[in-house]
Homo-oligomer: A and B are copies of this chain.
C-alpha cells in the first residue's frame, strides 16, 4: 500500500492493522470444487429457517411498524430480561437487564469492551493460539498483545502470572486477559475448573479485566458444564460475551455482553456512537423464538448434529493420519487442532493440499507471536461427511 495517497492521513492503528489471515485463507479456498475444513461457520442445513420465516411473518402482521423502527441502544428490554433469566438459570446469578447489552454478535461485544477498558499501549494477554477477535479488538485500541501458552487444560495460569509480573516490573500496564473458556477456537480446549479458579485469583491479585468470550458454551457434546468465569467473579472484573451465531443463526448478527452494570452502561454509551442500536427485527424474532421454546430445542439438535460430525472426523483422522501427528478430542464446539512434528511446516502442507482441492487453516495466524508453524486447525462444522472423508484422507496422505 506504499502508493496509497492517503497513507499519511491514516491513524496509527489503521496503519498497523492487518486483515485477518484466517478470513483471507477461507476466501481463497471458497470454491465449490474444494473440500474445505477451513471455515468455522455453522452448517446452514441446521438453521431453523421455517420457524424464522413463520415468526417474522406473524410479528410483521401484528406490529410491523414496531419491528422496523429504531430500538434502544442497549437492546430490546424484553429480550434482555429473557437472556438475563437464562444466565441466572446457568448459575450467573448477578445479571439482570441493566447489566446486559445486546450487540451485533459477540465480536461487537469484545470491540466495545476494548473501547471501554483499553488505552493505547496497555497490554492485553491472549492465548497462544487464539481466535483473532480479542487480539483484533485490542489492536484497534492500540494495545500490545502478549501471548500466554495454552495446554490441554486451557490457558496456562503459571505462564500468565510470570508474564504479568515481568511486564509490570517493566512498567507496563497489564489491563486484561482475553480467554475463550469452552472449546476454544482454534484448539478446541476447555479451561479446567482449577485453572478457572486460578485465573480469577490472578485477576484479583493483578487487577486484570477478564474478557470471557464464550460463543461455544452451549454446544457441549459430553461431560459436565463448568462454571463460567463470570459466575466465579466477585468484583465485577469479568465481561462475559455471548453469541447467537452458533446456536441460532449467524446472519442475524446477534450476541450479548454481561458484566458489572457500570461497565455495561459505558459499553452502551460506546455503542451509541458505534452503530446506534442493534437490528430491531432480529431481536424480536429471537425473543419470540426463545418464548416458543425453540431455542432450547435448537441447541439440543445442534449438539447432536455437531457431535456426530466431530465423531466422524475423529474416526477418519484415526484411520488416515500418521502417528507423527497429534490432536485433541474436543468436548464441544467446532474445532480440532493438529500438531505436526516440530520440523514440519503446516503452510507447505496447506499449499500441497490446496493443489489437491483440499483446505484447512494453518495454525500460525492464531499465534500473536508468529509461532505455531507446525500446527493447523480442522473444522467439522460446515463440511459434509463426504468432504470430511476426502479431506482427511488427502491431508493424512500428504503428512
Contact = CB atoms under 8 A, between A and B. Distances in A.
A45 interface: yes
A77 B306 CA distance: 30
Interface in A12-64: 12-14, 17-20, 23, 27, 41-42, 44-45, 47, 49-50, 52-53, 56-57, 60-61, 64
Interface stretch (A82-90, A244-252, A332-340): A244-252
A399 interface: no
A45 to B, nearest CB: 7
Interface residues of A, number: 91
B141 A11 contact: yes
Contacts of A12: 119
A273 B107 contact: yes
Contact of A266 (B10, B73, B103, B133): B10
B252 A68 contact: yes
Interface in A78-134: 103-105, 107-108, 110-111, 115-120, 132-133
A133 B276 CA distance: 9
Total copies of the chain: 2
B56 A68 contact: no
Contacts of A274: 107-108, 111, 140, 274
15 contacts: A5-B262, A8-B207, A9-B237, A14-B117, A18-B269, A49-B64, A69-B249, A70-B251, A107-B275, A110-B273, A111-B275, A136-B273, A140-B270, A251-B280, A275-B275
Interface of A: 1, 4-14, 17-20, 23, 27, 41-42, 44-45, 47, 49-50, 52-53, 56-57, 60-61, 64-73, 103-105, 107-108, 110-111, 115-120, 132-133, 136-137, 139-141, 175, 207, 209, 235-237, 245, 249-253, 260, 262-263, 266, 268-270, 272-282
